[in-house]
Amino acid sequence: MLAEPRQVVGVSAAFPNFTYHGGPVVKCPQIYAAFWGGLWTSDPNHLVLAGRITEFLRDLLSSKFMNILSQYGVGFGAGVAGSFVRASFVTSVPSVLTNALIQGVIQNSINAGVIPEPPATNNNIVLMIYLDDNTGVSDGGLVVCETGGDAFGFHTWFNTSAGHPFFYAIMPGLTDNCLKQSCQNDAFCSLHLAETQEQRITQVSSHEFAEMTTDPQLNGWFSLDLSHEIGDICNGEADTITVGANTWTVQRQYSKTDDINSNGTSFCLAEAPNPIPKLSPGPASLTAGHPRIAQLHSLNALLPLPPISFDHETGNVSVEQADVVKYVSRIFDYSEFVPDLPGLLRVIADALSASESAPETQGRGIASVTSKPGNS
C-alpha cells in the first residue's frame, strides 16, 4: 500500500492551541451601551462622542468585521449578527471602581429596569460600559486609567442576584493621560497618542466586543498557551472598517480559519468578504438561534430604544421627552399616513393663525368646550 505524500511538511497554524473549550458563546449579540460618569452628559463634546460610539456599535454589527466572528458561532455574518438595543447614562458612579463596585452598579441598573435581567441560558445580552474621563478601575492587579495602569479595557462576567450570567466589558476614557499612565513608550503601546480619543475607544471596543462574544464566561474560545483570546493574539493591530459614510478604527481579530488556510502566515483580520463558516469542533449548532435572529430583525425598525438615564445614588430613572418624540417620529413614518405633511402643517398653521385673530367672544381652546354646562 502506498503512503500518500503529505502536501505540506512542517508547516501548520501559528496558534494550534487556540480552541473551543465548551462554554457558551454569544450567538446573537443584543448590545446595550452604558455611559458611566457625569461628564458624558454635562460636557457637550462627550455627549456627541457618546452618540458616535453608539453609531459605531450599530455599524460594527452590520460590518464585515462580523464575518470573522461567524466562524466562532457568533452571528451569521455582516448584518445578521445581532442588534444594538439601547444606551443608558448612569451618574453618581464611584470615580475609582473595583469589579465588585462595577457589578453593584450593573445589579442596581437591572433592579431599576435600566438594563434587562439576562435569561438563565442562551444569554445574548452584552453590556458595553464606557467610563468618562474622570472614572477609572483599580482592583488588585487590574488597573485601568489610574496611576500604574496595565490595561486599556477588559471584559468579564458575574452572576446576577437572580443567578443569571451577565456579560460586560469596560472601556475607559482613554485620554492622553490614561495612555501615559498605562504605557510609557508609545511605539510599543497598543494605542497611540496620535489616535483621537474616539479612535482609541472604538479600537478597544472592537477588541472587547469580539472577546466578550466568543468567550463570555472565559471558557469558550481561547488559547491555552497564554490564555490568549481572539483580540489578544492581534493586540494593537489597528485597522479600519467602512460602513456607509463612516470609517471607524477597529482592531484586527484572530481568524483560526485563516491561520489554518495560510499555514500560520496570515491570521489577523479586520474584515472578511463573506461570513466564515462555523468551525468544528465548536459551539453546538446555531439552528436554534435562527428564529431568534429573525425575530430580532423584525424588531430592528423599533431599535434602538430612546436613551435612558439613571442616577446610581438616588435611584432616579428618566427618559428625556425630546428623545421620546424623536424616537416616535423615527419609527412611525408619517408619509404613510399623511402624503403631504408640509401641506397639512400649512393648513394647521393657517387654522391656528385664523383662530388667533378671531373675536375673543368665540372663546378658544379646550377650556371653553369643557366648561359648557351639561358636559360630563
Residue ranges that bind Zn ion, judged by CB under 5 A: 211, 231-232
Crossing angle of helices 44-62 and 197-214, rounded to 10°:
40
- Shorter beta-carbon distance to Zn ion: residue 38 or 231: 231
H helix intervals, the chain: 39-42, 44-62, 66-69, 99-111, 176-182, 197-214, 230-233, 256-261, 289-299, 321-331, 334-337, 341-357, 365-370
Q: Nearest distance from residue 231's CB to Zn ion, in Å? A: 4
Residue closer to Zn ion, measured from CB, 31 or 50: 31
Long-range Cβ pairs for the range 106-114 (8 Å, 24+): 106/158, 106/160, 106/166, 106/168, 107/160, 107/161, 108/310, 108/312, 108/315, 109/34, 109/310, 109/312, 110/160, 110/166, 112/310, 112/315, 112/317, 113/317, 114/88, 114/90, 114/308, 114/310, 114/317
**424623536: which residue's cell?**
326
Backbone angles phi, psi at 277, to 5 degrees: -60, 150
CB of 252 to Zn ion, least distance (A): 13
Nearer to Zn ion, 226 or 302 (CB): 226
Measured from the CB atom, the residue of 114 and 201 that comes closer to Zn ion is 201
* Residue 50 and residue 43 in contact, taking contact as beta carbons nearer than 8 Å: no
Residue number, 218 or 260, with CB nearest to Zn ion? 218
How far is it, in rounded angstroms, from Cα 271 to Cα 269? 5
Task: Label residue 250 exposed, middle or buried (CB < 10 Å: 0-12, 13-18, 19+).
Answer: buried
| C-alpha angle 135-137-139 in degrees, rounded to nearest 5 | 155
Distance CA(93)–CA(311), nearest Å, equals 8
**In the complex with Zn ion, which residue's Cβ is closer, 230 or 272?**
230
Residue 155, beta-bridge partner list:
169
In the complex, the smallest distance separating the C-beta of residue 170 from Zn ion, rounded to whole angstroms, is: 12
SS3 content of the chain, % helix, strand, coil (to 5): 35, 20, 45
- CB nearer to Zn ion: give 20 or 40: 20
Nearest-approach distance from CB 211 to Zn ion, in angstroms = 5
Please, which residue, 211 or 259, has the CB nearer to Zn ion? 211
Q: How far is the CB of 153 from Zn ion (least distance, A)?
A: 8
In whole angstroms, how close is the CB of 290 to Zn ion at the nearest point?
A: 30
State in angstroms the smallest separation of the CB of 84 from Zn ion. Answer: 22
- CB of 143: closest distance to Zn ion in angstroms? 15
Cβ–Cβ < 8 Å for 67, 21: no
Q: Which is nearer to Zn ion, 76 or 152 (CB)?
A: 152
CB of 208: closest distance to Zn ion in angstroms? 7
- Cell 358636559, residue? 375
Q: Measured between alpha carbons, how far is 105 from 238 in angstroms, rounded to an integer?
A: 31
Residue 128, SS3? strand
Cα-based angle 116, 212, 98 (whole degrees, multiple of 5): 75
What is the smallest separation between the CB atom of 228 and Zn ion, expressed in angstroms? 8
Compare residues 211 and 239 and give the one whose CB is closer to Zn ion. 211
